[in-house]
Structure 1
Amino acid sequence: MSIGNSPESPEDDRNFPADDRDSIGRALQQARVAAGLTVEEVSASTRVRVPIVHAIEEDDFSRCGGDVYARGHIRTLARAVGLDPASLIEQYDAEHGGRPSPTPAAPLFEAERIRPEPRRPNWTAAMVAAIVAVVGFVGFTMFNGNDVRGNGAVAEGPAPAPKATTTPAKPKPARPADPKPVPSESAIAAVPQDKVTVKLTATDDKSWISAKAHDGKLLFDGLLNAGESKTFQDDERIDLILGNAGPIELYVNGKKIEDTFESGQVERLSYTKGDPQAG
C-alpha cells in the first residue's frame, strides 16, 4: 500500500506542461556556433561589447541598461547570426512583461538653461560721468560770463546779402549693392580644424543619446525629441551611444554621415578630428 503519489506519477506532467522553446540566450548561442563565429567576431561586427554578448547568451539582460537597449542588442545579435529578430523580441516581451508604455520625457531630460547673473551697477562709471558733467557745466558758465562782460553792446553790421539761387545738383546714380555671399550647403561647414565636432538631429522620432569626451567626461545623457539637435565638441574624440539610431541625422566635422541606421537599433560610435570615415 503506497501513500501519496510517486515521483514518477504521470499527474506531474499534466500539471506542469513544458515549454520546449529554447531561451533567447541559448538560441543566439547555438546560432552563433552553427555559423562558425566566435563571441569576439560577433562583438566586432555588431559593436556590442564582449561581456554583454556573454551575458545575453546566459539570459542575463541586466547589463544591457534597460529594456530598450536589451531589445536593440537582441535584434542586432540575431541579425549577425542569421536568426529572425521578430520572434526573439516577441519572446523577450512575453517574458519581461511586454513593452512599457511611453513616459513623458520632458520632465526627466529637460535641457539645462543658463540663467544670466544680474548685473551690478557700475558706480565708478557713474561717478566719472557726474564729475565730467559738473566740470563741463562750470566751464560753460564761465565762458558765457566772460563773453557777456567783454561785449557790452552789440554792433550793428551790414545786412546779410541775399542768398544766391543755386541750381540743384543732379542726383547721383545709386551704387549697386554688393552681392550677398551664397550660403554654404552645411550650416556647420566652417567647424574648428583643431577639434572634433559632432551634431545630432532627431528627425521624426525621439532617441536616447549618450555623449562622452575622450577623458570619459559625460557631455550629455538624455532624450533627444523629434526636431531637436545637439552639438558636441572635444579636442580629441567623442564617443556616442544612440539608443534608437533610426531617426538620427549625424554630422561629423561638418560632413553628413551616410550610414543608414534602423529604428530601435543601438549604435556605439567614436569620432576623432580625422573623421568622418566608415564606422
Structure 2
Amino acid sequence: MSIGNSPESPEDDRNFPADDRDSIGRALQQARVAAGLTVEEVSASTRVRVPIVHAIEEGDFSRCGGDVYARGHIRTLARAVGLDPAPLVEQYDAEHGGRPSPTPAAPLFEAERIRPEPRRPNWTAAMVAAIVAVVGFVGFTMFNGTDGQAGPGAVAEGPAPATKSAAAPAKPKPARPNPKPAPSDSAIAAVPQDKVTVKLTATDDKSWISAKAHDGKLLFDGLLNAGESKTFQDDERIDLILGNAGPIELYVNGKKIEDSFESGQVERLSYTKGDPQAG
C-alpha cells in the first residue's frame, strides 16, 4: 500500500473557490450554474444572443463587436446571474489596455465669428435726391400756373364746367395670411397621430440597436454608425434594445427623450402612441 496524494479529478476542482481575477468568463459561468440557469435562459432574459454568451464564458470577446459592447455585455450578464458588474468591468479594462480617454471637443469654427458689418444708409445721397425732387415739383407747378392764367380783357364764354363727383373709395385689399413658422430642428415633421414613431440618431459613436413591432416582427437588427439615423413606425408599439445607449439621441412621436444614457449601457425600451413613456 503506497502512501501519497491521489491525483485530483475534474470534479474535485468544484470544491475549491475560483479565482475571479483569472477569468471573467469562468466567473460568469460559475455564477450562472450556481443560479440554476441555462445559457438559453440567460440569453432570453438579457437579449444577448446564445453564441455570444458561450464565447464570453470561454473568454472570447471578439464576437462582441468592440470594447464598448463587451463592457455592456459583461454588465448585462453579471446582473442576470447575480454578480456585481463593476469588478468584472475593471478586470476587463485591466486586461485590454484600460478604458479609452474621451475624445476632446472640436474647437469652434472661428470663421463663424467674422461677419461683415451692415452697410450704413447714404444720407447725403438721399438728401440730394429729396432736394432735386422738391425743386422739380415747384418749377413744374409755377410753369403750369403761368400758362393757365387768362389776359386782362378776356371774357369767359359759357358756364364753367361742372366738377366731377368725388371718386368712390377704393376697396381694401384682403390681408395676407401670416406665413406659418418653420418647424424646429428638434421636431419630426408630419408625425401621424394614429401610429407610434421612433427616430434614433447615433451622435458621436456607433451603437448596436434592435427594433421590433408589436407583433414581434423584426424591423432592424444591426449597427448604427455615428451620424446615421433610423426611423421606425408601428400601429401599436415599438420595442427597442440599445447596445450602446450613451451616444443615442431618441425622438418618440415627435418629442425628444431627455433620458441620460451612459456609454456601454444596454437599454431595453418600449413606446406606444401619444406622449412618449418608456415601458
- Per the normalisation by structure 1, the TM-score is 0.50
Higher alpha-carbon deviation: 60-69 or 206-215: 206-215
Q: CA deviation at 1:184?
A: 13
Contact 1:191 1:254 in 2 (8 A): yes
Q: CA deviation at 1:162?
A: 2.4
Contact 2:195 2:236 in 1 (8 A): yes
Aligned mates of 2:167, 2:104 — CA distance in 1 = 76
Aligned mates of 2:64, 2:23 — CA distance in 1 = 17
Seen in structure 2, the aligned counterparts of structure 1 residues 173 and 270 have a Cα distance that, compared at 3 Å, is closer
Aligned mates of 1:214, 1:124 — CA distance in 2 = 72
Seen in structure 2, the aligned counterparts of structure 1 residues 4 and 199 have a Cα distance that, compared at 3 Å, is same
* TM-superposition CA deviations, 1:42-70 (whole Å, max 9, x none): 11111111111111011111110111110
Partner of 1:159: 160
Seen in structure 2, the aligned counterparts of structure 1 residues 190 and 161 have a Cα distance that, compared at 3 Å, is same
Seen in structure 2, the aligned counterparts of structure 1 residues 145 and 211 have a Cα distance that, compared at 3 Å, is farther
Aligned mates of 1:36, 1:125 — CA distance in 2 = 93
SS in 1 for 2:251: strand
Aligned mates of 2:218, 2:113 — CA distance in 1 = 17
Contact 2:20 2:26 in 1 (8 A): no
Aligned mates of 1:61, 1:150 — CA distance in 2 = 116
Aligned mates of 1:89, 1:2 — CA distance in 2 = 48
Seen in structure 2, the aligned counterparts of structure 1 residues 207 and 237 have a Cα distance that, compared at 3 Å, is same
SS in 1 for 2:208: strand
Higher alpha-carbon deviation: 6-15 or 47-56: 6-15
Partner of 2:216: 216
Seen in structure 2, the aligned counterparts of structure 1 residues 273 and 179 have a Cα distance that, compared at 3 Å, is closer
SS in 2 for 1:150: coil
Contact 2:18 2:27 in 1 (8 A): no
Partner of 2:185: 185
Partner of 1:62: 62
Higher alpha-carbon deviation: 107-116 or 252-261: 107-116
Seen in structure 2, the aligned counterparts of structure 1 residues 223 and 168 have a Cα distance that, compared at 3 Å, is same
Partner of 2:105: 105
Higher alpha-carbon deviation: 85-94 or 269-278: 269-278
Aligned mates of 1:125, 1:136 — CA distance in 2 = 17
Q: CA deviation at 1:141?
A: 36
Q: CA deviation at 1:244?
A: 2.3
Aligned mates of 1:198, 1:96 — CA distance in 2 = 36
Q: CA deviation at 1:222?
A: 10
Identity, in percent, stands at 95
Q: CA deviation at 1:243?
A: 3.7
Seen in structure 2, the aligned counterparts of structure 1 residues 15 and 104 have a Cα distance that, compared at 3 Å, is farther
Q: CA deviation at 1:77?
A: 0.7
Aligned mates of 1:236, 1:116 — CA distance in 2 = 53
Partner of 2:273: 273
Seen in structure 2, the aligned counterparts of structure 1 residues 20 and 129 have a Cα distance that, compared at 3 Å, is same
Q: Which has the larger radius of gyration?
A: 2
Aligned mates of 1:118, 1:49 — CA distance in 2 = 62
Consecutive unaligned residues of structure 1, counting only runs of 5 or more, are none
Seen in structure 2, the aligned counterparts of structure 1 residues 26 and 137 have a Cα distance that, compared at 3 Å, is farther
Contact 2:45 2:80 in 1 (8 A): yes
Contact 1:208 1:222 in 2 (8 A): yes
Q: CA deviation at 1:72?
A: 0.6
SS in 1 for 2:112: coil
Aligned residues: 277
Aligned mates of 1:105, 1:211 — CA distance in 2 = 31
Seen in structure 2, the aligned counterparts of structure 1 residues 210 and 105 have a Cα distance that, compared at 3 Å, is farther
Contact 1:207 1:242 in 2 (8 A): yes
Contact 2:193 2:274 in 1 (8 A): no
Contact 2:194 2:235 in 1 (8 A): yes
- Per the normalisation by structure 2, the TM-score is 0.50
Aligned mates of 1:111, 1:242 — CA distance in 2 = 37
* TM-superposition CA deviations, 1:141-197 (whole Å, max 9, x none): 9999999x9999999999975222369699999999x99999999944953589874
RMSD of the alignment, in Å? 12.4
Seen in structure 2, the aligned counterparts of structure 1 residues 270 and 123 have a Cα distance that, compared at 3 Å, is farther
